[in-house]
Amino acid sequence: MSRGLIKCDLTLEHYFIYGPSAGVMTRPVLPRREGQPILMRGEVGIKEDGQLRPLVAHNTTHIDMPYHFLDDGMDLAAVLNNPAYRINLPMLTLVLDLSEAPEAHMYERYGVRYCREVTAELLPDVETLRQYDALMLLTGFGAILDRGSDDFEPDAEGFYHLPSVTVEVAQKVVDAGMSLLAIDCTTVEKQTQGNPLRMTGDVHPILLGQPSPVFILEGVSGARIEPQAGFMPSEGVLEVIPRRTNAGGADAAHARVFLNFYPENNRERLEQLVEMSTPEHLYG
């Protein structure tokens, strides 16, 4: 096996929709026609009644800003290129594979087993977490994200059985002084009601409401790591590249996400990679 750097793109290739919703259609918005050789296409949400449905960053790989839950929280414009926030720089990341968590935590859909509830006992101790900038939780649900949401339906009571994170997990991440929590689901919150769909709003404020916010990266396509690399790393260097368009007032941003790692899980080489990749100055 090569000892060289492995770089995996963990960005979803589509929108993942749940809730009384519609699918997403990619279609020409400016079709090619005689006298007009240009072609443009776009993505729109279409409800069952044929009406358009807005699409937001939260339906695909994205990073949440404090403004998502807090009126006085920072928006994307306030965060971009600010060296006070490690998310603008490469992050040494602990990768926690929970696809083989204890049976009491597991759930199965479409032949995919995943950890439905991430609880504090599934995490390492705070001292271990303090060695990293970010924590990536891979529940196994990423395999369902990659399938797309065309046939992703709730049960008879309206529950989707999405992975979620407890408030104790959020507090543990805060206590460790981490900069980011990532998960292979489009939310960290737990569904509490179906028809109409309702989620908790407990985890986001704990993380985003800190004086130095813990940013939340959702919709990570973690299922593609092992097929590409041949193994699941336990740590790596995470790069999050948010879309910068219309940053003022943005509560979240679509993001490209890359995880860099080595076959031998060599901490020294990862730390060297972070140092080499981190600029001395950032300019807006």
User: pLDDT tens, 151-169?
Assistant: 898 999 999 999 999 999 9
Complete domains list, the chain, with CATH: 6-277 (3.50.30.50)
User: pLDDT tens, 176-194?
Assistant: 999 999 999 999 999 999 9
Is residue 98's pLDDT more than 60?
A: yes
The b/e string for 17-44 (b: 16+ C-beta within 10 A; e otherwise) is bbbebbebeeeeeeeeeeeeeeeeeeee
pLDDT of residue 48: 72
- Mean pLDDT of the 256-281 span: 92
pTM over 0.85: yes
